[in-house]
Amino acid sequence: MERVYIFDTTLRDGEQAPGFSMTTEEKLQMAHQLAKLGVDVIEAGFAAASKGDFEAINLIASEVKGPVICSLARALEKDIEIAAQALAPAERKRIHTFIATSEIHMKYKLRMSEEEVLERAKKAVEFARRFTDDVEFSCEDATRSQREFLYRVIETAIKAGATVINIPDTVGYAVPEEFGKLIEDILNNVPNVDKAIISVHCHDDLGLAVANSLTAVKHGARQVECTINGIGERAGNAALEEIVMAIKVRKDYFKDLYTGVNTKELYKTSRLLCRITGSFVPPNKAIVGDNAFAHESGIHQHGVLSHRLTYEIINPEDVGFPSTRIVLGKHSGRHALKAKLKEMGYDFTEEDLDRLFEKFKALADKKKEVYEEDLEALIYEEFVKVPEKEPIKIVHYQVQTGDNMLPTATVVLTYNSETKTATSTGNGPVDAVIKAIQKALGIEPKLVDFSIKALTPNTDAQAEARLVIELDGIRASGRGIDVDIIKASVNGFIDALNRVLMRKYYILSRAKIREEGTV
């Protein structure tokens, strides 16, 4: 078995993308999660770039254990010395120094000759070796570099003490076959290449970063530089989650190659990055997108419900994804509807299912997605008499909260023609009001899931709160919408509670009918 090392540059190259800046505390939080994910190297920043980057690298080097902690540095002694200072507390450290090797960069950016670049590369690596035995050297814009000169630079850097040689496709120019051949040629034409690990760092300007990285691995590269969610300069970097899962899923193709990544942490790491940066991944994003394990087509749904491997090559649990999601819409079939109803706690005869399926299809033609609450409305309309018990209704609630006080909520609600009042504290205003509702009713359902999203832009946006609760083995979801997120959350919780009670009533009424033999 041969290891492919995963070099995460989310905190350096990823953060350089517009809109993805992070505070020192956020970088530390992300670094701890990357360590939990099991990456081999965390490139924590560019120490000489700013005081903030220096402090973040230094803090990560002090507190994060496990991965090698790395700082980028130009091929300048002052940059390398600052990087070494920032990395000083790290148990395992790496200095990553670089200089451009393409004609266009040397002529227009560096204004240096080939010999000057060779000398600068040599001195930079030698100087970095004074601070650590782990030195990485990058040939910036390698894919547009003259091949023979590239070989000379790599040979010089290894001779000077570089232990990792990185071949960046800096501007996302390469295509897979060409990039794979480049790696192969480097391995065959640099005399001392066996003394270093060959790494690749691909950008996604042509949408080929992952494909190029994987082709490079197939041709002998043993480190891949990548980022969570593929964030990075311009169109981004190779997405870490895609690289790792491709190697894991396609063992038949990548043979004895493996990574040390704990794939069950991929989804959690992706979502943490989204929360920290305020960004989101497209729903169709591979591995971690909301639709990565979602199925609406009836044919696909039937296949997945019969055997997951028919339409899913990855088990959602393997990447920490909640589960396969069956989306009900106009393309869905009877198998998906039946499975969803069973999940909700309903058991219909085939005849009743046929009746409900017709109504479901009519509704699905009018909506993009049919939710649980829509199905329940159809069920109660078609099969269940309105119960005598009145639903829970909020009459009034009040929440007190602030910087230096414990959030406290008081609620007044009605249920079954009875008014109930309660007061409770909580970790936050939403937690406090939900606990007050539970106290007033004398029940404590388990909160399975809770999410809030903005439906409209700006600070006065409408918020949608979606909650899933479970009580006495019955699970239901609720939804609330309001410009006030507390009110949206309260409405969603009450909606979910009423649905649990309605399902309970339905189950009891159907059981009674079966006992009496009236159906």
Q: What is the DSSP letter of 239?
A: B
Residues 6+ apart with CB under 8 A from 480: 464, 465, 487, 488, 489, 490, 491, 492, 493, 494, 495
- Backbone φ and ψ for 426, nearest 5 degrees, come out as -160, 180
Q: Check whether 13 is labelled as a binding-site residue.
A: yes
* Rounded distance between C-alpha atoms, residue 114 and residue 490, angstroms: 67
- DSSP for 166-199, please give it: EEEETTS---HHHHHHHHHHHHHH-TTGGGSEEE
Can you name the residues that pair with 425 across neighbouring β-strands? 408
- Distance spanning both ends of the chain, measured CA to CA: 63
Report yes or no: 373 and 479 within 8 Å, Cβ to Cβ: yes
d(CA 217, CA 501): 56
219 is in an annotated binding site: no
3-class secondary-structure state, position 278: coil
**Could you tell me which of 170, 140, 172, 173 has the C-alpha nearest to residue 157?**
140
Helices (H), 107-146: 114-128
Nearest Cα to Cα of residue 452 among 496, 493, 477, 488: 488
**Could you give the CA distance from residue 393 to residue 368 in angstroms, rounded to a whole number?**
29
Q: Is 302 annotated as a binding residue?
A: no
Residue 421's nearest CA partner among 437, 403, 402, 443 is 437
Is 201 annotated to bind a ligand? Reply is yes
Binding residues, as ranges, are 13, 201, 203, 237
Binding residues for Mn(2+), as ranges, are 13, 201, 203, 237
